[in-house]
Structure 1
Amino acid sequence: MTLMIFFVMLIMESATEKLCPLRASIDVLEGEYFFLCYLESRQEHFQEEAYTINWYKESAGKQQLIKETHRIVSQMNFLEFWPAELSDSGIYSVIHSNGKQNVTIQKWTLNVLERNKSSCFNENHLTTEIKSAGIGHSLKCSDLSVYENDSITWYKDCKNYEHETERELNFRALTVQNSGIYTCKIVISHEGTIYHSTNTIKLVIEEDAPEAFSLEIVGHHEEIETKIGKEEILNCTGFLGYYMREDASLYWLINQTFPEQCTDIPENEPSICEEELKKLQLGNKFYITRLLRIKKVRDEDMHHNFTCMLQADESTRMKIVKLKKGKTQDLPVHIFTTGMVLALLFPFVAVAVVFVFVMFRVDLVLFYRSICRRDETAGDGKEYDAFVSYLKDCVSPVEEEREFALKILPMILEENFGYKLCIFERDVFAGGAFVDDIHSFIDKSRRLIIILSQNYVSDRAIYELESGLHKALVERKTKIILIEYMPISDYNFLPESLSLLPSKRVVKWKKDKSLPVNSRFWKNLRYLMPAKPIKIKTRGHYNNLGLGSEAAQPRTEGCDFNAII
């Protein structure tokens, strides 16, 4: 009898393993059936004489016991939602207790997404798979239910797809026509009510294979110079390819030991902790990144190996970071003595110097460049000082914005300050390969100037922005300058990765106040541009630069070129 129970439990555990993927963060649509589950080790079955299992949800930093209702049901290793609601979003955990101690078995972050009532799927609730034409492939309907007799229906672009009812949708040889958005819908009957769960996959078929890809960590092994007591933040970023791999993991090791997790309460954080995994998409490329925070560097940290591990598809990549003491030099006695005397006798001097530097930092830097004839552009192989990206509609709803980009900006920067700009409408003629042109001209430019507005939504403008962000955040080849032409209250129309840029690289246009050549706007812009020896013409204004109605028109047929694209 005991042997029979053992085999039954083995079979149940094997089935549970298939249904319980190790997923820390989960997205689910509101109104759909969903479940959380965890794996219970065999030792807990036989070694614990008596224990209880409780499910908790974290709210306002405190764990609250989940009480069963007709909608939320706890069954064996499962917590089921009939169905999930927006208010269910939060952090869940399952805890075993034997009366003496509590053990947290697993934690999840559940995100319940709002349903798109005009479509059968939500854009934020899909995965993307990019494949080459001519190869075989299968789309798999994830384990969305624990019940065996559920009916399954496949949809392509929200239309019933060839009456397919299997959990896998098989293609012998992919063609471009197979591209589309596929939705797998599982129908579940529970206590006389019909529920369903969906899984959506965006399948992209390319006639030419995507560029060769291998799982990799951005950067190489490195040594970082630091000093005792200083805070250090180690970054590790993994490139996953052209779709987000759910099985990918990225984590830090300290001499083959896992670090503790960072908390929301700084006072309770350990001296070295690991932050949460973050996902990043730049264009059609996907990345994951994780930070290791060292509050205060200790002497023993200089002897540790900080190893970042990237794992996916049974492949492993690693990057080792070591800390070393930087070279220090004792301060000469006479300088130390002089500094102490000044600090004691004239404390206001330090405050005044700081105030002057903060208030006139830009002016001081520009003056230093002018006096020293500093040139950052010599020998760097770049052709342009900046690539200008802006709204490119044929008929702009804001004509002043078009005039600013094609007339005022080049007139001041090129003719008054000697910079060389690349403006797509003006400098690139129709007939080229758009994608190649964009990459080529951004690569040839030292800066990428982005003129932001609510109208910055054209396909090409977004592509220029994503290309520039990739070069700034990942390749670190190009610095970005953001010009806020009009006040913007909501940045949701821009890529999320734009928030990673420092706020000091944003310059705001204030209409008439910014028009004079010696205004704060042009000084801030020149401060962000590369330093080069120039002859400044300070006598200039929008109204006396010869900007008539004819000058407001671009020099090439940029509008027609946009229409072709």
Structure 2
Amino acid sequence: MTLIIFFVMLITESATEKLCPLRASIDVLEGEYFFLCYLGSRQEHFQEEACTITWYKESAGKQQLIKETHRIVSQKNFLEFWPAELSDSGNYSVIHSNGKQNFTVQKWTLNVLEINKSSCFNENHLTTEIKSAGTGHSLKCNDLSVYENDSVTWYKDCKNYEHATERELNFRTLTVQNSGIYTCKILISHEGKIYHSTNTIKLVVEEDASEAVTLEIVGHHEEIETEIGKEEILNCTGFLGYYMQEDASLYWLINQTFPEPCTGIPENEPSICEEELKKLQLGNKFYITRLLRIKKIREKDLHHNFTCMLQADESTQIRIVKLKTGKTQDLPVHIFTTGMVLALLFPFVAVAVVFVFVIFRVDFVLFYRYVCRRDDTAGDGKEYDAFVSYLKDCVSPIDEEREFALKILPMILEENFGYKLCIFERDIFPGGAFVDDIHSFIDKSRRLIIILSQNYVSDRAIYELESGLHKALVERKTKIILIEYMPISDYNFLPESLSLLPSRRVVKWKKEKSLPVNSRFWKNLRYLMPAKPIKIKTKGHYNNLDLGSEAARPWIEGCDFNAII
């Protein structure tokens, strides 16, 4: 009878051992069923009634007894989570008591990871297996449940895989096409609810993986040139092969002495400290790396051996780094020559830039206004952009001047550039008080455009000019733009105060040369006009109009100066 019990216990222990692998650190996804299990000895199985098992979780540096809830259940050798939550992360231990003494027989570190809502797996919750093409292989979905009759489903790259429902996925002959990320999902029924647990394996099938991979440190022994007082960061990286070996270790030694770990707080940082170990994956290759941070190089550091050691699979690789002071080198000849040439050229380049800006100042300003949609007219209360003053005598021997004022000027500024002009004959109804009208409309305008010529002699024209000069020079309300329609050699017929205006506010009309929309005349005039966002129309050229034509007749008919005033 005793022999039968022994065999039963042996079989039970063997089954439990399959479910309870020795693993110090465990990763599990939140929201999934999970269990911790303790593998007892044969003696404990025979003394089952005399011994007790208690589960603890470390909290604030102290072990606290785990109290069972509807979610966390303890069943002798098993501690089950229905399901695991992020708050379950921590250090666990199981204590065995025989009534006289307590023994801590096993410890775990449990890491509960957040689920990836955009994928069926978490990148941090998978294992990688590298296999050669042409060989057989099995992917195992073990350690997920203590129950044997659970439903199992396999997925490849998050898609259902060939209706596989067993805990092992067998490949008779591997091919490169079998490479992928495989996830097995087990469904478990508990107290009327369905829970699940997953395991993800990244399978890499290589065409030729017959050559054995040797673990090695990247780089060779070296001497690094440095300076006293300078900060240096030494990097050591170890190549692990085509899968992450959890037992691999990488660390620094300073003359066979371990450095202190870095704290992450600059003011409390030791002069030489070692950063935490980091794991890297580049393609299908795995590396581990660790930094040694030297805050300030001292004289004695130049005599140290900084040794990086890689240990894995009972093999050790080392890399020694030494520091030395470098020689102060003179500035290379080509760099010195380049600097001298640039220093000599800089004044000429600066002068050229200023010269170009001065020459094309108007073009730069107009481009800036157009790009930035600048608007100087918003909210100023003005109705017109400019009041146009010109020779009003209808019996003028120079018809072109009237054509320019009544036709060409408004056609370009209003139709092409969106400005609104106030022209006395066109926009002011006869019958009003002349003086009041002049003052009123000049006040409503942002600019006063005066077309100067030898014929600018009428009393009303002179009054408009004097009114505008008074507002520009005394009241400083309106800016004046002078258009010299014909060359003027003698300005004695004009008020003396006109000489106080800046010369840059005079724009000269050059007949055919000034007709194109993009001519210098129109650019200078737009430069002096207020900035406003406009949509430029590109009518290339305006020929002189025949004032006797039907198009020009409405501008001239009935033009009786005495009748207007």
What TM-score, normalized by structure 2, do the two folds share?
0.44
Task: State the Cα deviation string for residues 104-131 of structure 1 (Å, max 9, x = none).
Answer: 2122111111122232212221223344
CA distance in 1, matches of 2:369, 2:425: 32
Within a 5 Å distance, the mapping from 1:127-526 to structure 2 comes to 127-207=127-207, 209=209, 212-215=212-215, 239-245=239-245, 279-281=279-281, 284-287=284-287
- Structure 1 residues 11 and 282: CA distance shift in structure 2, 3 A: same
- Structure 1 residues 352 and 464: CA distance shift in structure 2, 3 A: same
Task: State the Cα deviation string for residues 84-118 of structure 1 (Å, max 9, x = none).
Answer: 11111111111223465432212211111112223
The alpha-carbon deviation at position 163 of structure 1 amounts to 0.7
The alpha-carbon deviation at position 169 of structure 1 amounts to 1.9
- Structure 1 residues 195 and 225: CA distance shift in structure 2, 3 A: same
> 1:152–1:184: 8 Å Cα contact kept in structure 2?
yes
Task: State the Cα deviation string for residues 456-496 of structure 1 (Å, max 9, x = none).
Answer: 99999999999999999999999999999999999999999
Moved more, 434-443 or 506-515: 434-443
Moved more, 193-202 or 93-102: 93-102
> 1:283–1:466: 8 Å Cα contact kept in structure 2?
no
Moved more, 377-386 or 163-172: 377-386
Task: State the Cα deviation string for residues 309-351 of structure 1 (Å, max 9, x = none).
Answer: 9887898999999999999999999999999999999999999
- Structure 1 residues 163 and 45: CA distance shift in structure 2, 3 A: closer
- The SS at the match of 1:460 is helix
> 2:394–2:561: 8 Å Cα contact kept in structure 1?
no
CA distance in 1, matches of 2:433, 2:203: 25
- Structure 1 residues 170 and 108: CA distance shift in structure 2, 3 A: same
CA distance in 2, matches of 1:461, 1:346: 53
CA distance in 2, matches of 1:245, 1:387: 86
CA distance in 2, matches of 1:412, 1:482: 17
> 2:57–2:63: 8 Å Cα contact kept in structure 1?
yes
Moved more, 523-532 or 438-447: 438-447
Moved more, 85-94 or 449-458: 449-458
Task: State the Cα deviation string for residues 156-194 of structure 1 (Å, max 9, x = none).
Answer: 121111111222222233333323221111121222221
> 1:426–1:554: 8 Å Cα contact kept in structure 2?
no
- Structure 1 residues 55 and 300: CA distance shift in structure 2, 3 A: farther
Task: State the Cα deviation string for residues 474-521 of structure 1 (Å, max 9, x = none).
Answer: 999999999999999999999999999999999999999999999999
Moved more, 126-135 or 175-184: 126-135
> 2:392–2:561: 8 Å Cα contact kept in structure 1?
no
Task: State the Cα deviation string for residues 277-314 of structure 1 (Å, max 9, x = none).
Answer: 86454554324579999999999999999999988789
The alpha-carbon deviation at position 77 of structure 1 amounts to 1.5
- Structure 1 residues 117 and 402: CA distance shift in structure 2, 3 A: farther
- Structure 1 residues 59 and 291: CA distance shift in structure 2, 3 A: farther
CA distance in 1, matches of 2:255, 2:395: 61
- The SS at the match of 1:436 is helix
> 1:427–1:556: 8 Å Cα contact kept in structure 2?
no
* Cα RMSD for the two superposed structures: 28.0
The alpha-carbon deviation at position 149 of structure 1 amounts to 1.3
> 1:425–1:558: 8 Å Cα contact kept in structure 2?
no
Moved more, 225-234 or 69-78: 225-234
Task: State the Cα deviation string for residues 65-90 of structure 1 (Å, max 9, x = none).
Answer: 10111111111221111111111111
CA distance in 2, matches of 1:496, 1:138: 106
The alpha-carbon deviation at position 133 of structure 1 amounts to 3.7
CA distance in 2, matches of 1:470, 1:39: 106
> 1:393–1:562: 8 Å Cα contact kept in structure 2?
no
- Structure 1 residues 419 and 286: CA distance shift in structure 2, 3 A: farther
- The SS at the match of 2:523 is helix
- Structure 1 residues 326 and 65: CA distance shift in structure 2, 3 A: farther
- Structure 1 residues 104 and 207: CA distance shift in structure 2, 3 A: same
- Structure 1 residues 418 and 350: CA distance shift in structure 2, 3 A: same
CA distance in 1, matches of 2:71, 2:262: 34
The alpha-carbon deviation at position 142 of structure 1 amounts to 3.0
> 2:27–2:111: 8 Å Cα contact kept in structure 1?
yes
- Structure 1 residues 52 and 265: CA distance shift in structure 2, 3 A: farther
The alpha-carbon deviation at position 44 of structure 1 amounts to 4.6
Moved more, 393-402 or 213-222: 393-402
- Structure 1 residues 87 and 328: CA distance shift in structure 2, 3 A: same
- The SS at the match of 2:507 is strand
> 1:183–1:201: 8 Å Cα contact kept in structure 2?
yes
- Structure 1 residues 356 and 111: CA distance shift in structure 2, 3 A: farther
> 1:406–1:554: 8 Å Cα contact kept in structure 2?
no
- The SS at the match of 2:210 is coil
The alpha-carbon deviation at position 136 of structure 1 amounts to 3.2
CA distance in 1, matches of 2:134, 2:425: 38
Task: State the Cα deviation string for residues 30-88 of structure 1 (Å, max 9, x = none).
Answer: 11111111222234556899443211111222221101111111112211111111111
CA distance in 2, matches of 1:367, 1:117: 51
The alpha-carbon deviation at position 204 of structure 1 amounts to 3.1
- Structure 1 residues 364 and 432: CA distance shift in structure 2, 3 A: same
- Structure 1 residues 335 and 198: CA distance shift in structure 2, 3 A: closer
Moved more, 460-469 or 158-167: 460-469
CA distance in 1, matches of 2:422, 2:322: 42
- The SS at the match of 2:556 is coil
The alpha-carbon deviation at position 14 of structure 1 amounts to 1.6
- Structure 1 residues 397 and 351: CA distance shift in structure 2, 3 A: same
- The SS at the match of 2:236 is strand
Moved more, 410-419 or 157-166: 410-419
- Structure 1 residues 306 and 337: CA distance shift in structure 2, 3 A: same
Moved more, 424-433 or 322-331: 424-433
The alpha-carbon deviation at position 12 of structure 1 amounts to 1.9
> 2:545–2:552: 8 Å Cα contact kept in structure 1?
no
CA distance in 2, matches of 1:285, 1:468: 83
Task: State the Cα deviation string for residues 251-292 of structure 1 (Å, max 9, x = none).
Answer: 999999999999999999999999998645455432457999
Identity of aligned residues (%): 91
CA distance in 1, matches of 2:71, 2:399: 55
The alpha-carbon deviation at position 234 of structure 1 amounts to 14
Moved more, 316-325 or 117-126: 316-325
> 1:507–1:525: 8 Å Cα contact kept in structure 2?
yes
CA distance in 1, matches of 2:475, 2:215: 17
> 1:91–1:108: 8 Å Cα contact kept in structure 2?
yes
CA distance in 2, matches of 1:460, 1:175: 101
Moved more, 5-14 or 357-366: 357-366
- The SS at the match of 2:289 is strand
Moved more, 379-388 or 353-362: 379-388
- Structure 1 residues 235 and 153: CA distance shift in structure 2, 3 A: same
- Structure 1 residues 226 and 348: CA distance shift in structure 2, 3 A: farther
Moved more, 240-249 or 50-59: 240-249
- The SS at the match of 1:404 is helix
CA distance in 2, matches of 1:43, 1:490: 128
> 1:394–1:562: 8 Å Cα contact kept in structure 2?
no
> 1:406–1:552: 8 Å Cα contact kept in structure 2?
no
The alpha-carbon deviation at position 199 of structure 1 amounts to 0.9
Moved more, 283-292 or 311-320: 311-320
- The SS at the match of 1:558 is coil
Moved more, 458-467 or 197-206: 458-467
